[in-house]
Amino acid sequence: MNDIANFIGGRNVPPLSSAYLENVDPATGEVYGRVPASCPQDVDAATAAAAAAFPAWSATPASERSQILLGLADLIDENLELLARAESIDSGKPLSLARAVDIPRSAANFRHFATAILHISSEFHDFDGGGIPGGVPALNYTLRRPRGVAGLISPWNLPLYLFTWKIAPALATGNSVVAKPSEITPMTASLLADLCTQAGLPPGVLNIVHGTGPECGAAIVRHPDIPAVSFTGSTKVGQWIAQTAGPMFKRLSLELGGKNPLIVFEDADVPLAMETAMRAGFSNQGQICLCGSRILVHESLVEKFIADLTERARALRVGDPLDAPTQQGALSSRAHLEKVASLVNLARDLGGTIHCGGDRVAATSLPTRCRSGFFYQPTVISGLDPACPVEQEEIFGPVVTVQAFKDEAHAVALANGTKYGLAATLFTQNASRAHRVAARMEAGIVWVNCWMVRDLRTPFGGAKASGVGREGGMEAIRFFTEPKNICIAG
Ligand code: NAD
CATH superfamily, with its number, for domain 261-456: Aldehyde Dehydrogenase; Chain A, domain 2 (3.40.309.10)
Convert the pLDDT of each residue in 164-176 to its tens digit.
999 999 999 999 9
Q: Is the pLDDT of residue 60 over 90?
A: yes
- Across 418-439, average pLDDT: 98
pLDDT at 2: 79
Q: Name the fold adopted by 2-256+466-489.
A: Aldehyde Dehydrogenase; Chain A, domain 1 (3.40.605)
Q: List active site positions.
A: 255, 289
What three-state secondary structure class fits 6? strand
Across the strands, what pairs with 400?
Answer: 380
Which atom number of ligand 1 is nearest to the Cα of residue 240?
A: 18
- pLDDT tens-digit map of 124-156: 999 999 998 888 999 999 999 999 999 999 999
pLDDT exceeds cutoff 90 at 407: yes
Q: How many CB atoms lie within 10 A of CB 61?
A: 9
Which one, of 26, 12, 342, 2, lies nearest residue 156 by Cα?
26
Beta strands in 147-209 (DSSP E): 149-153, 176-180, 206-208
Tens digit of each residue's pLDDT (9 = 90 or more) over 188-197 = 999 999 999 9
- β-pair type (2-3, 30-36): parallel
pLDDT per position as a tens digit, 303-332: 999 999 999 999 999 999 999 999 999 999
What is the Cα–Cα distance from 162 to 287, expressed in whole angstroms? 13
Ligand 1 center from residue 162 Cα (angstroms): 11
pTM to 2 decimal places: 0.97
DSSP letters for 353-394: EEEE--SBPPGGGS-GGGTTS--B--EEEE---TTSHHHHS-
% of the chain surpassing 70 pLDDT = 100
Spacing, Cα 256 to ligand 1 middle (Å): 7
Ligand 1, residues 43, 236, 237, 419: which to mutate, most atoms within 8 A of Cβ?
237
Q: Return d(Cα 191, Cα 449) in angstroms, integer.
A: 37
Give 382's strand partners.
353, 402
pLDDT for 490 equals 80
Whose C-alpha lies nearest to ligand 1, atom 37? 256
| Res 445 pLDDT > 80 | yes
**Residue 215: half-sphere exposure toward Cβ, Cα within 13 Å:** 17
**Separation of alpha carbons 437 and 338, rounded Å:** 36
- Give the separation between CA 75 and CA 113, rounded to whole angstroms: 16
Angle made by CA atoms 7, 92, 10, in degrees to the nearest 5: 10
Pocket of ligand 1 (CB under 6 A): 153-157, 162, 180, 182-183, 212-214, 217-218, 221, 232-234, 237, 240-241, 255-258, 289, 394, 396, 422, 462, 466-467
Q: How far is the CA of 465 from the centre of ligand 1 (A)?
A: 13
Rounded mean pLDDT, 229-257: 98
Cα–Cα distance, 139 to 487 (Å, whole number) = 6
pLDDT for the residue 282: 98
Backbone angles phi, psi at 261, to 5 degrees: -80, 145
Looking at residue 134, its pLDDT comes to: 86
User: Quick one: pLDDT band at residue 350, thresholds 50, 70, 90?
Assistant: very high
Coil, strand or helix at 323: coil
pLDDT of residue 356: 98
The domain spans of the chain are 2-256+466-489, 261-456
**Cα 486 to ligand 1 centre (Å):** 38
